[in-house]
């Protein structure tokens, strides 16, 4: 539905986007995820029409999007700050986009009330934005952004301004509304939990480049590089060396060279905390540094003989003492090499 | 415990008396029925009635009102345009200072400069030149007030308007200007009251046939302070006062938005 091809954008000497290409399917919840300053917001603003790229193209349903003026693009943006019009009530805010069309007054009113009902704001129509809670303001912003029935809705950090409880409520709500209105959503966020819980597909950005585009589960289980491994979920990233007999880590020993890395190279390996089992052993290669009880599990910090620190989710029944030695056990298939 | 009166309270009271005594004198003596303003003969509104038969005063008042109203409108339009422009181009301190400088340049310098400019282009001095001159310095005040607020507006609000299909003109009138309302009102009141009682610049840039009220008062005062002058002073005070209260009201309403 949306194709971004070889997009490049520079601000002075800073490259915000470096030859970015991606495909977004119809009706998808697509997330652009990355740390701040990675270029995701620039991409969003190019699609919305507030920036233009130095080179590359953006196609919507196979026709050029960038040549369409911002005002009439079939794309709407929900701003991070919501950007509600403070001097207008909820109704006028939501109806604003429709007043810029040829629709008759009665048609505008009908469509606006349809949306107001869908988003559940009926008792607030006469209120000004500053009389609403954060969650309600966000609903108004969402209603206003979908009122023109865009083909594509862009959401800039949609949940970042909400507190935790309303956040979960809005997550469900966003999914429900996306399903109901059938609009493709692109979500920009720096928060991996937000991306994982909302999106079907995530593009991980760093320094103006796409590091990987996959489903949330795929990103977690099969990260293609160290950046993604580190950015998505919690992981232990350790340094090892490739020899002719396999990958050798000074504390963990020989690990299967699943990626067929060339001998003599240094590699990084990733093991997730839940994939490690600890076994008490006075000759073990790790020393327990810290144990924190976390309800269903224990969060254990272990120092390896290589001086690297790893995190392990251990069984809460396991009796672990700080300072005691342990063996580090894991399955070869749970290790990723970069 | 007896209330302590410290030195700063005493100074403050004297300062207030010093500030308000002349104003009280003008207002009080305006109700004097005597024809010599310094000899109290009795309380009455005689001079408030008489003043309207003095053609010089009435015409002067009308001219002043005309100049003040036109100046206010022009300063608002130009000042707001400058502020929006400076904000959009993210202009630095240099340009900002330059656009507000006429507000602090000594009136005399501005007056001489304007007079020189008008003669250079051989403009006939008239109310028109007074309006141009007043607009020059009132605009600076409008810019100062509007610029302070415009920077506080979230720029995404204008972007949201464009994103929702509004033209640049619609965004300006429906989104930007309503949010600037409190500072526009303040700028209007400032321009109006500044222009109303402005003397030095008007004296330099006005033609001889069309004196404004402050110039009429000046020519009258050369023969001593008459009760008429006290009445005029009181009326001018009233206009400014009403303006300020009006501005505060609007400001409060607008801030609650």
Crossing angle of helices B127-150 and B93-100, rounded to 10°: 140
Pairing of strands A286-294, A277-280: unpaired
Task: Tell me what the mean pLDDT of segment A185-205 comes to.
Answer: 91
- The answer to which of A28-42, A175-189, A315-329, B191-205 has the lowest mean pLDDT is A315-329
Alpha carbon of A201: minimum distance to chain B alpha carbons (Å): 25
Arithmetic mean of pLDDT, B5-16: 90
Per-residue pLDDT tens digits for B89-143: 876 778 888 888 888 889 899 999 999 999 999 888 889 999 999 999 899 999 9
Distance between CA A190 and CA A158 in Å, rounded? 11
pLDDT at B254: 55
* CA separation for the pair A254, A284 (Å, rounded): 15
Instruction: Tell which residue, A236, A238, A233, has the closest CA to residue A248.
Output: A238
B85-91 long-range contacts, Cβ below 8 Å, gap at least 24?
A: B86/B143, B86/B147, B87/B147, B87/B150, B87/B151
What number of CA atoms fall less than 13 Å from residue A316's CA on the CB side?
A: 6
Q: State the residue for tokens 């093991």.
A: A271
Q: What is the ipTM of this complex?
A: 0.83
Q: Confidence band (pLDDT; 50, 70, 90) for A58? A: very high
Which of A71, A80, A81, A153 to probe the B interface (max B CBs under 10 A)? A71
**Structure-token match 């009271």, residue found:** B13
Average pLDDT of chain A? 89
pLDDT by residue (tens digit) across B138-186? 999 999 999 888 988 888 999 999 999 999 999 999 999 999 988 898 8
| A102, closest residue in chain B (CA to CA) | B165
Distance CA A270, CA A337 (A): 6
- For B50-71, the pLDDT digits (tens) are 888 888 888 998 999 999 999 9
The partner residue sitting opposite A100, judged by closest CB among B165, B179, B257, is B165
Which helix (DSSP H) or strand (DSSP E) does residue A286 occupy? strand A286-294
In this predicted model, what pLDDT tens digit does every residue of A254-285 receive, in sequence order? 787 777 777 778 888 899 999 998 888 888 88
| pLDDT at position A212 | 93
What do you get for the CA distance between the two ends of chain A, in Å?
33
| pLDDT of B11 | 93
Question: Nearest-5° angle of CA A116, CA A119, CA A120?
Answer: 80
- Token pair for residue B37? 């303003």
Using alpha carbons, list the distances in angstroms from residue A118 to A98, A99, A147, A190.
17, 20, 11, 28
Q: Lowest-confidence range among A115-129, A209-223, A255-269, A294-308? A: A255-269
d(CA A81, CA A84): 8
Q: CA-CA distances (angstroms) from residue B104 to B12, B183, B197, B207? A: 27, 19, 17, 25
| B178 and chain A in contact, CB less than 8 A | yes
Chain B environment of A72 (Cβ under 8 Å): 165
pLDDT range class, residue B13, cuts 50, 70, 90: very high
- In a mutagenesis test of the B interface, which of A69, A83, A108, A154 is the best target, namely the one with the most B β-carbons within 10 Å? A83
CB of B255 less than 8 A from some CB of A: no
Residues of A in contact with B166 (CB under 8 A): 71, 96, 100
CA distance B257 to chain A (A): 5
Assess contact for B193 and B240: CB atoms under 8 A: yes
Q: Is B84 helix (H, G, I), strand (E, B) or coil?
A: helix
The model's confidence at residue B1, banded by pLDDT at 50, 70 and 90, is low
pLDDT at A177 over 90: no
Residues B133, B203, B48, CA angle at the centre, nearest 5°?
Answer: 110
Helix, strand, or coil (residue B253): helix
CA–CA min distance B68, chain A (Å): 30
Mutate to test the interface with B, among A49, A79, A154 (most CBs of B within 10 A): A79
* A70:B162 CB<8 A: yes
Mutate to test the interface with A, among B90, B149, B165 (most CBs of A within 10 A): B165
Q: Is A71's CB within 8 Å of B165's CB?
A: yes
Instruction: Give the pLDDT confidence score for residue A330 in this predicted structure.
Output: 87
Residue B257 banded pLDDT, cuts 50, 70, 90: very low
Q: What are phi and psi of A184, to 5 degrees?
A: -70, 130
CB-nearest partner of B175 from A50, A81, A85: A85
Q: What DSSP letter does each residue of A19-71 carry, written as one string?
A: EEEEEE-TT-EEEEE-STTSSHHHHHHHHHTSS--SEEEEEETTEESTTS-GG
**Mean pLDDT to the nearest integer, A281-291:** 87
The reply to whether residue A86 touches residue B160, judged by beta carbons under 8 angstroms, is no
- Model confidence, pTM: 0.80
DSSP states along B138-193: HHHHHHHHHHHHHTTS-HHHHHHHHHTT--HHHIIIIIIHHHHHHHHHHHHHHHHH
Distance of residue B194 Cα from the nearest chain A Cα, in angstroms: 30
Q: How far apart are CA A125 and CA A40, in angstroms?
A: 34
């Amino acid at each position: 539905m949306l194709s971004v091809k070889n997009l490049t954008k520079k601000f002075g000497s800073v490259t915000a986007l470096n030859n970015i290409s991606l495909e977004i399917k119809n009706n998808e919840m697509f997330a652009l995820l990355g740390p701040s300053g990675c270029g995701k917001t620039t991409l969003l603003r190019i699609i919305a029409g507030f920036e233009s790229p130095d080179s590359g193209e953006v196609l919507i349903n196979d026709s050029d999007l960038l040549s369409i003026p911002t005002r009439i693009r079939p794309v709407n943006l929900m701003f991070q700050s919501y950007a509600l019009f403070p001097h207008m009530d909820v109704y006028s805010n939501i109806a604003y986009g429709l007043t810029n069309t040829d629709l008759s007054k009665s048609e505008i009113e009908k469509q606006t009330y349809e949306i107001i009902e869908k988003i559940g704001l009926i008792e607030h129509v006469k209120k000004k934005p500053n009389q609403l809670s954060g969650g309600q303001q966000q609903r108004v912003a969402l209603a206003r952004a979908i009122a023109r029935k865009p083909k594509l809705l862009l959401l800039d950090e949609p949940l970042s301004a909400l507190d935790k409880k309303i956040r979960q409520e809005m997550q469900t709500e966003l999914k429900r509304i996306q399903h109901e209105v059938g609009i493709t959503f692109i979500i920009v966020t720096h928060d991996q939990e937000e991306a994982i819980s909302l999106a079907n597909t995530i593009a991980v950005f760093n320094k103006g480049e796409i590091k990987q585009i996959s489903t949330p589960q795929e990103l977690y289980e099969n990260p293609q590089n160290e950046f993604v491994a580190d950015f998505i979920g919690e992981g232990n990233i350790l340094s090892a060396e490739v020899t002719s007999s396999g990958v050798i880590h000074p504390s963990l020993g020989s690990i299967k060279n699943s990626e067929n890395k060339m001998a003599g190279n240094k590699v990084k390996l990733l093991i997730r905390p839940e994939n490690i089992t600890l076994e008490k052993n006075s000759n073990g290669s790790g020393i327990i540094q810290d144990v924190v009880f976390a309800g269903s599990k224990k969060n254990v910090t272990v120092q390896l003989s290589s001086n690297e620190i790893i995190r392990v989710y251990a069984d809460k029944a396991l009796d672990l003492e700080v300072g005691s030695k342990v063996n580090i056990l894991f399955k070869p298939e749970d290790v990723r090499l970069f | 415990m007896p209330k302590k009166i410290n030195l700063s309270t005493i100074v403050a009271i004297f300062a207030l008396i010093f500030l308000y005594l002349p104003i009280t004198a003008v207002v009080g003596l305006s109700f004097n029925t005597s024809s010599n303003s310094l000899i109290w003969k009795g309380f009455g509104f005689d001079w408030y009635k008489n003043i309207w038969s003095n053609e010089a005063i009435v015409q002067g008042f009308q001219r002043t009102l005309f100049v003040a109203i036109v100046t206010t409108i022009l300063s608002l339009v130009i000042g707001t345009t400058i502020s929006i422009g400076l904000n959009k181009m993210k202009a630095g301190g240099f340009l900002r200072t330059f656009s507000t400088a006429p507000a602090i340049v000594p009136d005399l310098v501005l007056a001489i400069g304007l007079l020189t400019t008008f003669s250079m282009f051989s403009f006939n001095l008239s109310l028109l030149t007074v309006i141009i001159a007043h607009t020059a310095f009132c605009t600076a005040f409008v810019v100062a007030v509007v610029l302070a607020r415009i920077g506080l507006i979230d720029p995404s609000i204008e972007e949201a308007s464009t994103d929702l299909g509004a033209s640049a003109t619609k965004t300006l009138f429906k989104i930007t200007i309503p949010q600037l309302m409190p500072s526009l009102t303040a700028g209007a009141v400032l321009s109006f009251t500044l222009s109303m009682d402005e003397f030095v610049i008007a004296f330099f840039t006005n033609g001889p046939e069309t004196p404004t009220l402050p110039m009429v008062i000046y020519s009258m005062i050369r023969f001593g302070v008459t009760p008429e002058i006290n009445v005029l002073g009181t009326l001018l005070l009233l206009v400014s006062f009403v303006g300020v209260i009006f501005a505060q009201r609007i400001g409060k309403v607008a801030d609650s938005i």
